[in-house]
Amino acid sequence: MPHLDEDGMCRICRWTLSPHGGERDCHCPFCSLCTRFIGPELSFHHTERIYFRSEGEGDLLVPFRRKMPSNKSVSDAPITQFVNCQILRDHKLQREDLWVRKGRILDPAKLFFDEQGSADRRVDCGGCIIAPGFLDVQINGGYGVDFSQATDDVSAGVALVAKKILEHGVTSFCPTLVTSPSAVYHKVIPQVKVQNGGIEGAGILGLHLEGPFISREKKGAHPEKYLRSFQSGGEGGGAGGGVSDLLETYGSLDNVAMVTLAPELPGSQTVVRELSQRGITVSLGHSVANLSQAEEAVNNGASSITHLFNAMNAFHHRDPGIVGLLTSDRIPAGRTVYYGMIADGIHTNPAALRIAHRAHPSGLVLVTDAITAMGLPPGRHTLGQQVLEIQGLHAYVAGTTTLSGSIATMDMCVRHFKQASGCSIEYALEAASLHPAQLLGISDRKGTLNYGTDADLVLVDEDLNIKATYISGEEVWRE
């Protein structure tokens, strides 16, 4: 039949003819719905406007063709159809095609039924999995670039990293600044703008400001002399309630997506409320907070934990601290607490990865926490105001055994997490895409392959190696 290829597959939807449906019907979500009778002897296949008529009782339906309307009657934008693939949708892999127009994912049923449209070009995915592009909400730099260095051209450094991480499947990210002098924030923040990605590099979702309002006891690699506390106002409000300290330190909250702070600091709960009301994600980290203080912060609007298990009190059965948020019964209804996990094989033991995953799977967000040495050989590098030493896959504050960020890439983290946790391919991919999008409140446009969302895609093989990266439906990197 004209709408089938030599393998018996529908030329449009790519599904095989139903073995029990005779030659009248395709076995696919669209064709099986649309092959309907018009009168006793006429039916049609909408996708190619192939009509069928009976030429006698018991005879096979005989096809004849009517002219297919042009897509130009609907839009001048070309339609791309990704074929020979599995797509990650609704938490499972589905063998179907993906349709894209004007940078967004199309609903093929509406395209076929309402517009009577077809593809302008097809991309053969060679059997790969199509997943949403990865989002990295904690990355300090890479390839010799340190986001916390106040250079004369900060944007050029950010652009370099944005370009390089495309090969690791990252389509959007949050440049992260560690604890720094106020002068650094005042110079760097105005130069980093939220922007869409493209062939020039991954999109910028906004800055992640990790510090300086953190605990001295759990400062990790953050330089102690630049740590700050909230001086103005208190938990009752007044004198800016601590927010004026933020503005004095950072200079501006424009283009800021996320702030990490310690909830036990006096005045912090007021700050949590204010940041949350401004639409900025508040994450708890570098902290000695007990569980009650962490729960209070969540009830005031905090929604995340920064690199779980690292730079916080160890789990204790009488007071589990921030870690206890994973199973707390004091989380407001309808809210999810997310937690960053550095799955580089160094920062977190595989057993700890499994504990977190099994205790609270819906909140796990893979992050790289990558530093300037990502993509560079071993040696000495910088992170903010600190000197670091890279030994193998370990990054230490020079002269110490204090871990300081990671040199892992996001695709490495996805693969290691799947191997260490024993989770499904689907879950590993969503931990780097759907979950960070939900954390930032942008899953209506990022992190899924739902109809109408941005066509930011990554093609991976069954071993989760990156084969190609797309932003807005356009190829930006290929192996």
pLDDT digits (tens, 9 = 90+) for 288-316: 999 999 999 999 999 999 999 999 999 99
> Which residues are identified as catalytic?
369
In this model, does residue 191 exceed pLDDT 50?
Answer: yes
Its pTM stands at 0.85
Residue 342, pLDDT > 90, answer yes
Find the mean pLDDT for residues 169-194. 97
Q: What is the mean pLDDT of residues 325-336?
A: 97
Confidence at 7, pLDDT banded by 50, 70, 90: low
Q: What is the mean pLDDT of residues 166-195?
A: 97
Instruction: Return the number of other C-beta atoms located less than 10 Å from residue 43's C-beta.
Output: 18
**Which of 14-28, 162-176, 211-225, 248-262 has the lowest average pLDDT?**
14-28
| Residue whose entry in the numeric block shows the structure tokens 């209804």 | 333
Task: Give percent of the chain above pLDDT 70.
Answer: 82
Residue 397: per-residue pLDDT: 84
Q: pLDDT tens, 52-82?
A: 444 454 444 444 443 444 555 456 789 999 9
Q: Is the pLDDT of residue 224 over 90?
A: yes
Does the structure show a pLDDT above 50 at 5?
Answer: yes
Tell me, what amino acid is at 404?
Answer: S
Sequence-separated contacts (24+) of 38-46 with Cβ below 8 Å = 45/3, 46/112, 46/113, 46/116
Q: What is the pLDDT of residue 232?
A: 67
Average pLDDT over residues 384-410: 84
Evaluate if residue 205 carries a pLDDT over 90.
Answer: yes
Cis check: omega of the bond before 332, within 30 degrees of 0 = no
pLDDT of the residue at 239: 46
Token couple for 240: 């800016």
Q: Are 49 and 11 in contact (CB under 8 A)?
A: no
Q: What percent of the chain has pLDDT over 90?
A: 69
DSSP-derived letter for residue 114 is: I
Beta carbons of 259 and 282 less than 8 angstroms apart: yes
What pLDDT was estimated at residue 133? 98
Residue ranges of E strands in 358-479? 364-367, 379-383, 386-391, 394-397, 457-460, 466-471, 474-478
Residue, of 64 and 476, whose pLDDT is higher: 476
**Is a pLDDT exceeding 80 seen at residue 19?**
no
Rounded to an integer, the average pLDDT of 381-391 is: 80
- Work out the pLDDT band at 109, boundaries 50, 70, 90: confident
pLDDT number for residue 356: 97
